[in-house]
């Protein structure tokens, strides 16, 4: 029995172009030709093609089909590497499905920072942007803590909205008032998450890259008045925590 290229492709569940591609890669031998010039494939070609297709279905790259398919001693290692890659891919897909479910449940923007769908409606454009950047600077544990901080902030009042709306030329009194209102929340964050004092342990990059990226991002995403309020509030928060620690509650840390 001899088959044409198209007949072979139909039998193997593939295409003529795929067979030609395998010929070019040297994975499938060229068959003899009939008197009229047409190729005629035999059983060995069909079996070889089906073996190649099987390996491709498993996800083996064509560049490795030769050694893996021939029973090379590297086959177990290649298959284990492929299995690990597939497991990671499945995990990414499962996480993507979970993220999509969260986005749909909370009617959040699709580009909300991962894990922040439930509070996305409370985030300003700048806050959402900085969280995206934080996700590249800090590990998952730190991002989980940041999510809890945002959840608390979203439930505690409108000070965040006022800071978002703060004009660059806001007066001194307004800046100080907002800083004093924000300070208690920041102080509680410092108490609940002491690593904020020294976040290097949760950083994904060097201290230089982390600091440079943070400084440039804050400088571009927030206006001078907003940065001033955040700086003042941060200092006031540290003072509150230190005062509480000196007084009687050393268990804060």
Partnered with residue 203 across adjacent β-strands are: 138
Q: What are phi and psi of 169, to 5 degrees?
A: -105, 25
Say how far apart CA 121 and CA 25 lie, in whole Å.
53
pLDDT value, residue 252? 44
- For 205, the token pair is 């990059």
Question: CATH classification of 5-71 is 3.30.300.130, yes or no?
Answer: no
Say how far apart CA 105 and CA 109 lie, in whole Å.
11
Does position 98 have pLDDT exceeding 90, yes or no? yes
> How confident is the model over 178-187, as a mean pLDDT?
93
Average pLDDT, the chain: 89
pLDDT band at 239 (very low <50, low <70, confident <90, very high): very high
């Amino acid at each position: 029995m001899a088959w044409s290229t198209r007949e072979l492709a139909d039998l193997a569940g593939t295409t003529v172009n795929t067979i030609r591609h395998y010929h070019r890669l040297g994975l499938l031998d060229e068959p003899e030709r009939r008197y009229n010039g047409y190729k005629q494939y035999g059983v060995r070609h069909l079996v070889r093609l089906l073996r190649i297709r099987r390996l491709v279905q498993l996800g083996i790259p064509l560049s490795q089909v030769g050694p893996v398919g021939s029973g090379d001693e590297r086959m177990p290692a290649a298959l284990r590497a492929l299995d690990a890659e597939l497991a990671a891919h499945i995990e990414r897909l499962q996480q993507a499905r979970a993220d999509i479910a969260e986005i749909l449940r909370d009617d959040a923007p699709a580009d909300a920072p991962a894990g922040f769908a439930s509070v996305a409606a409370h985030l300003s454009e700048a806050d959402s942007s900085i969280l995206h950047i934080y996700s590249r600077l800090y590990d998952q544990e730190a991002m989980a803590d940041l999510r809890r901080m945002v959840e608390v902030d979203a439930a505690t009042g409108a000070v965040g909205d006022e800071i978002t709306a703060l004009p660059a030329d806001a007066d001194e009194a307004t800046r100080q008032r907002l800083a004093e209102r924000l300070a208690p929340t920041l102080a509680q964050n410092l108490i609940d998450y002491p690593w904020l004092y020294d976040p290097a342990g949760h950083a994904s990059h060097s201290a230089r890259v982390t600091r440079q990226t943070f400084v440039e991002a804050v400088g571009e995403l927030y206006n001078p008045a907003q940065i001033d309020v955040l700086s003042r509030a941060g200092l006031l928060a540290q003072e509150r925590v230190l005062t509480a620690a000196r007084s009687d509650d050393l268990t804060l840390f």
